[in-house]
A and B are shown apart, each in its own frame.
Chain A
Amino acid sequence: METPTKLPPSSPSSPTTGFSVPSAEKVDGFPRRSMRRARQRRSHSSSQFRYQSSQVELTPLPLLKDAPVAELHDLFCKKLQQCCVLFDFLDCVADLKGKEIKRAALNELVESVATSRGVLIEPLYPEAIKMISVNIFRTLPPSENPDFDPEEDEPTLEASWPHLQLVYEFFLRFLESPDFQPSMAKRYVDQKFVLQLLELFDSEDPREREYLKTILHRVYGKLLGLRAYIRKQINNIFLRFIYETEHFNGVAELLEILGSIINGFALPLKSEHKQFLVRVLIPLHTAKSLSIFHAQLAYCVVQFMEKDATVTEYIIRGLLKYWPKTCTQKEVMFLGEIEEILDVIEPSQFIRVQEPLFKQIAACISSPHFQVAERALYFWNNEYILSLIEENCQVILPLVFGTLYRVSKEHWNQTIVSLIYNVLKTFMEMNSKLFDDLTASYKVEKQKELKRERERAELWRSLEEQQERRLQSLGEASRNQKNLQEREKNSKNEPENSAANAT
């Protein structure tokens, strides 16, 4: 009964006069993203400042490039210590002088470590790592937007980025310096350090995650003793993401690192690595936010297959297990990944998975969502896949024929119907005898299916009847038992009440 008729604006008693309703809200009153975002909000956030003890006044030190060689290391060290002072960036006018001094010092440190040789001597390692730790390690602030959607919303940027970026830059140059000595660094870049580094990947600020990605990659490459630990902690982060929080901003970045790590795995694959594939990478496909890191994830999966073809079956069966039930967008992603996999699959492996796989593909073809059906039907445009299908036509055609036949007559979308005709034509050309047989037996098969359906219904009906009878007889039995007890009791006490109890 509610119609979109507008009220006459002249209506004198209308409370709507005198103020204008934002047009977005005239449609309906539900809060929507755009409205929420319009709410006043900071775009910057930082948890860093709280732990600063009494503010120290910074005084500019002499420039590194002017320092005599004998004092260079001492000055470098002093600059590192100076850079341990933290500033409040949420208050953008606070202590501008100090901020500028620190920024200049950081710039100098970056420059010096990147260009001059012989700066990085052993006593500087603990000071450098301390400066890095003090600046980057912090509890990330709560998200401004509790249901932050990385695809839709603007990320909250780190307020102290002007300094933080230089610290990250320094760290990166430090790791990449030809003078860098892993044997010295490993005393300071230890497990605890790496754990904190990994937690920072949850940062909402993409610039920070980008730095972290490169840095972790370098650490993984240079500090061999930490490799197993890093992999284990990434595992833990992913498992927490999959099974506990469903929230972690740095999944894509971590997967990107893993993509290159997998490349370097030795053969035969260790069981640790296989376990990682089966129990972590495959379940990652269940995440709600799959679209954000699917490209990187699919890359990792394909890397595994190229490394060792025997994992193919685990992968395909795993994907089939987690196949999206309701989210068509994810279904299209899964189909994309399957195609990437089929592109590099070994024919012997294909035979092992073709049956469950093509049952799923048939199900996708009959999806009422045309993008899903279309994506599945595109497999027949892939020459390698087509050759695999042709070799195994005897198995595959019977699996998909019924669906193709039915959907060709039923689908609402003309593109799908014509794609299916093409596929049917291809099959006809591949094996016309089998095709004709299947066409002939289609109706009979349908009848058989219906019959099985009826039999099943009948089975359950009689099972339920039987249950009913049993429950009844059990009920009767307990009633009888009660009556009997009542009767015995009543016969001793008040016999005239027995009728009332016998209900």
Chain B
Amino acid sequence: ARLRAEVLNCPSMAGADGDDSLYPIAVLIDELRNEDVQLRLNSIKKLSTIALALGVERTRTELLPFLTDTIYDEDEVLLALAEQLGNFTMLVGGPEYVHCLLPPLESLATVEETVVRDKAVESLRKISHEHSPVDLEVHFEPLVKRLASGDWFTSRTSACGLFSVCYPRVSSTVKAEIRQHFRNLCSDDTPMVRRAAASKLGEFAKVLELEYVKSDIISLFTALASDEQDSVRLLAVEACVSIATLLPQEDLETLVMPTLRQAAEDKSWRVRYMVADKFSELQKAVGPEITKNDLVPAFQNLLKDCEAEVRAAAANKVKEFCENLPEDSRETIIMTHILPCVKELVSDTNQHVKSALASVIMGLSTILGKDNTIEHLLPLFLAQLKDECPEVRLNIISNLDCVNEVIGIRQLSQSLLPAIVELAEDAKWRVRLAIIEYMPLLAGQLGVEFFDEKLNSLCMAWLVDHVYAIREAATCNLTKLVEKFGAEWAQNTIVPKVLGMANDPNYLHRMTTLFCINALSEACGQEITTKHMLPVVLKMSNDQVANVRFNVAKSLQKIGPVLDSNCLQTEVKPVLEKLAADQDIDVKYFAQEAISVLALA
């Protein structure tokens, strides 16, 4: 019974309880009005705290009117406000009162600054779902209409984003009005509004009944797709994907395809770029038949476009396009129509085009199978592996696994090696870094013998690169190689070389030895660590460079867990104690840290 009483008391606690008189709204409003923008911003960000202190009723009757009236502020403050109001439903008393939030958000949806407006629209979309159908018609839809017929373009652009959220939940008369408003905005005088409408066309089409898609949307789509401004036309291409998905197959040819064909041949490269960029989506939306008859030639043209931007966008889609071709004619289409264009792109004049192609071309091998790959694709891979631009070569190497599954990597190894060697020595350290990251993959696919013969020396050379990031990556690479090839291999091939660097005159190389030991000890195991690595580390505690000495301490801390306790006590502890008495403060610090971590004190 006691529990029940508490539960019953609850609603009053959430509502206007006694202590809100402690905070007269004037004080809070003073905070929201503070001269200092930063303080105003802080207050706005804590608007929910203020609302909670006021209680739902006073939030509705005092706070919101204040906010609505004083919307003239720094955009940053307005942005925060627009965001806050999207989460305010509970603070004004739940869905029943959510429409109280509309006036301030309406004003925010008309301001000049795009980010503020977009945020206000986002919040409006969010709270639209919390409106009951009745409230939607009484409060929300009139707001959309007001925005849609606003004087300045900002309110009309905002309106474009709100049609689709209210359309599904209103009566058919209101629906007709909404469609009319949308039509008006699609032929608005200012291109900004037409762009906004065009970008929401697909979204709006999705919530419309099919008959209206056919009657209304198609004509709007056709009009926007032949707008005088290319910035509008290209947005229609995006809408094309959604619209084509909605229509039954038999209508596509007459309703969508004329416009799409025209877009693929548009005089503005931006529109053609958009078509190329959306090609896979378009292909899925229009289905296999239209793809075969229309999209294949269109795609060929895009791959041969006069603007490099368009070719690069199309090249990026080669694999996806081929993958999604209807199975019965896939191979023929690729071999007779696509591959000839791809061959030309391999020697394109623009490096971005080649590099886009290189990032997907290997994927074709799985689609075409072993024989075709060897006969037709392999020469292209090899050509790209020899490309003058490192990015192209890297993109090929990073996708080797696709080919490996089909023909095995050995077919490529003769050309692969020079390419790798050249990238390994590229003047740009980021290129070197990228190739290091593919080493474990290459090692796994090429096998230990090939690796020892050709690549091992590269991996060791990176350890003494003049860029720290490369040395670090090289160290990490060694660990991965040991994980792949095993401890015995490590002992025979890399450990001697790593340990040899401990006597290098350059202290950075000596430190690299320590970093490698840190990374390798676990993978190599106790025996190798104790027998081969530890003596070297201990000997380095006498190094004349303090940086080396404190790294000895750090290394000992790191490899300690791999060693047995006897060895720790007899060999490690004395050295650490000596270092703990070093004259260099950092050496002391790290030695003491190692002693306490390894519990040797």
Contact = CB atoms under 8 A, between A and B. Distances in A.
Interface of A: 1-3, 5-8, 11, 13-16, 18-19, 21-22, 25, 29, 31, 47, 49-51, 139, 141-142, 192, 195, 236, 239-240, 243-244, 279, 283, 321, 359, 456, 459-460, 462-464, 466-467, 470, 473-474, 476-477, 480-481, 483-484, 487
Nearest to B4: A484
A139 B268 contact: yes
Contacts of B462: 15
Contact of A13 (B153, B191, B460): B460
Given A25-B428, A236-B190, A481-B7, A464 B49 contact: yes
A233 B270 CA distance: 21
A139 B269 contact: yes
B269 A244 contact: no
B427 A21 contact: yes
B402 interface: no
Contact of A16 (B23, B39, B114, B465): B465
B441 interface: no
Contacts of A6: 466
A487 B509 CA distance: 70
A5 B7 contact: no
A490 to B, nearest CB: 13
B427 A22 contact: yes
A8 B231 CA distance: 56
A2 to B, nearest CB: 5
B488 interface: no
Nearest to A278: B112
A6 B13 CA distance: 71
Contacts of B253: none
Contact of B46 (A3, A141, A359, A460): A460
28 contacts: A5-B506, A11-B464, A11-B509, A13-B464, A14-B464, A15-B464, A15-B465, A25-B428, A29-B428, A29-B467, A31-B428, A51-B267, A141-B269, A244-B114, A244-B195, A279-B112, A359-B35, A459-B23, A459-B31, A463-B23, A463-B50, A467-B53, A474-B10, A477-B14, A480-B6, A483-B3, A484-B4, A484-B7
Nearest to A487: B3
Contacts of A481: 7, 10
B27 interface: yes
A470 B14 contact: yes
Main secondary structure of the interface of A (DSSP, over half): helix
B192 A29 contact: no
B215 to A, nearest CB: 29
B468 interface: yes
Contacts of A321: 74
Closest 9 CB pairs of A and B: A477-B10, A29-B429, A15-B461, A139-B268, A2-B468, A50-B306, A142-B309, A243-B114, A473-B13
B13 A474 contact: yes
Given A142-B308, A456-B31, A463-B46, 5 more contacts: A7-B506, A15-B458, A29-B467, A47-B307, A459-B23
Contacts of B74: 321
Contacts of B267: 51, 139
Nearest to A453: B39
Contacts of A15: 424-425, 432, 458, 461-462, 464-465
B547 interface: yes
Interface of B: 3-4, 6-7, 10, 13-14, 19, 22-23, 27, 31, 35, 39, 46, 49-50, 52-53, 74, 112-114, 152-153, 190-192, 195, 228, 230-231, 267-270, 306-309, 424-425, 427-430, 432, 457-458, 460-462, 464-469, 504-509, 511, 547
A470 B112 contact: no
B148 to A, nearest CB: 19
Contacts of A3: 508
Nearest to B11: A477
B306 A49 contact: yes
A19 B425 contact: yes
Nearest to A29: B429
B268 A480 contact: no
A8 B506 CA distance: 8
Interface centre among A15, A192, A243 (most CB of B within 10 A): A15
A13 B425 CA distance: 12
Contact of B7 (A8, A19, A480): A480
Given A1-B547, A141-B269, A484-B7, A240 B27 contact: no
B467 A141 contact: no
Contacts of A139: 230, 267-270
A13 B461 contact: yes
Contacts of B114: 243-244
Contacts of A5: 506-508
A29 B465 CA distance: 13
A477 B14 CA distance: 10
A279 B306 contact: no
Contacts of A49: 306
B466 A459 contact: no
B3 A7 contact: no
Contacts of A21: 427
Contact of B52 (A1, A19, A283, A470): A470
Contacts of B507: 5
Nearest to A35: B428
A467 B192 contact: no
Instruction: Output the residue of A195, A236, A359 with the most chain B CB within 10 A.
Output: A236
B158 to A, nearest CB: 12
B306 A240 contact: no
A13 B457 contact: yes
A474 B9 CA distance: 11
B190 to A, nearest CB: 6
B87 to A, nearest CB: 14
Nearest to A143: B309
Contacts of A279: 112, 152
- Name, among B22, B230, B306, B430, the residue most crowded by chain A CB atoms within 10 Å (CB to CB): B306
Nearest to B307: A142
A125 to B, nearest CB: 23
A31 B431 CA distance: 11
A261 B500 CA distance: 78
B192 A470 contact: no
A246 to B, nearest CB: 11
B466 A240 contact: no
Nearest to B427: A21
A238 B505 CA distance: 63
Nearest to A14: B464
A139 to B, nearest CB: 4
A244 B49 CA distance: 35
Contact of B427 (A25, A456, A463, A464): A25
Which of A240, A283, A463, A474 has the most CB atoms of chain B within a 10 A radius of its CB?
Answer: A463
B230 A480 contact: no
A99 to B, nearest CB: 19
Contact of B191 (A11, A25, A236): A236
Contacts of B461: 13-15
Given A7-B506, A15-B461, A47 B228 contact: no
Contacts of B190: 236, 239
Contacts of B425: 15-16, 18-19
A475 B383 CA distance: 67
Contacts of A50: 306
B458 A240 contact: no
Contact of A283 (B14, B112, B466): B112
A271 to B, nearest CB: 11
B477 to A, nearest CB: 14
B49 A8 contact: no
Contact of B153 (A8, A29, A192, A239): A239
A474 B12 CA distance: 10
B600 to A, nearest CB: 25
A170 B461 CA distance: 65
Given A19-B427, A51-B267, A463 B465 contact: no
A464 B48 CA distance: 10
A195 B269 contact: no
B272 to A, nearest CB: 10
